Chains A and B, each alone.
Chain A
Amino acid sequence: MKRSNAPVFWALFGAGGMLAALIAPMLVFITGVAVPTGRLLPADAMSYERMLTLARNGFGKLALPLVVLLFMFHGGLRMYHSLHHLGFHTGSGAKAVIFGIAVLATIAAAVALLAVG
């Protein structure tokens, strides 16, 4: 019997759901609201120099692609099933697009982080 790939998707979905539940509100608040508006945190908190330091740091190199991979696999699996719930029975085509983009985006992030040294 061909082994199902479903556990891989559900494991990444679960890990992403847990990570998002724990830190997504604050991560979105910091990167999308607090720093861009300069409220609570300094507006230069995400300056090129600071982000370069994070990108060159071992923690940043690991954490950033992990957030990307897990958020996209979590959101992606739910998007895929929501398509079905909304009456779009797209099958494996939509799955390939949704998770293909997720994998490519993670690789792009990893390559960029390696490129900055």
Chain B
Amino acid sequence: MSSVKTYVRPMAGWWRRNPFFVRYMIREASAPLFYLYALWLVAGIVALSLGPSIYAAWWTVAQYPLMIVLNLVILVFAVYHTWTWFSVLPKTTPDIDVAPGTLIGAGIVAAIVACLALFAFAWGVTR
């Protein structure tokens, strides 16, 4: 194989030059947060299967102020994800013949209903 030196346009810092791309990259920060949140859940599930004392250790960590703050950060990004996910729904589902505003509104309402239902479920079984 002969190596050919082609010009590669430098891309460093491209997203900082445009507010639209800055918002895009902020949105992308939610990706590793969902990933880490799922890993944290797995740790809890595995701890549960290992017995009460291991689960208690996981729960102690879950109550650390740092973990609460981290979860609050994840919560903010999750809400931003919900908002942006449904905001681009008319573009990501071009085959659905519904007015864009209706589609976005329906998505947001569905998310609110789903969240309230989840809370009602948690409230109902623990109170």
A52 adjacent to chain B (CB < 8 Å): yes
Contact yes or no, A112 B48, CB < 8 A: yes
Closest residue on chain A to residue B15 by CB atoms: A85
Query: Is B107 within 8 A of A21, CB to CB?
Result: yes
Q: How far is the CA of A108 from the CA of B38 in the complex (A)?
A: 12
- Chain A, interface size category, equals 35 or more
User: What chain B residues lie within 8 Å of A87 (beta carbons)?
Assistant: 11-12
A 37-54 binary contact with B (CB < 8 Å = 1; else 0): 100011011101011100
Contact with A along B65-98 (1 / 0, CB 8 A): 0011011101100110110011000000000000
B122 close to A30 (CB less than 8 A): yes
Task: Please tell me if the beta carbons of B114 and A48 are within 8 angstroms of each other in the complex.
Answer: no
A55 to B49, CA, bound (A): 9
Contact surface of A with B, Cβ cutoff 8 Å: 16-18, 20-33, 36-37, 41-42, 44-46, 48, 50-52, 55, 64, 67-68, 71-72, 74-79, 82, 85, 87, 98, 101-102, 105-106, 108-109, 111-113, 115-116
- Tell whether B52 is near chain A: CB-to-CB under 8 Å: yes
Answer yes or no: B7 CB below 8 A from chain A CBs.
no
Give the residue among B28, B31, B123, B126 with the most A Cβ atoms within 10 A.
Answer: B31
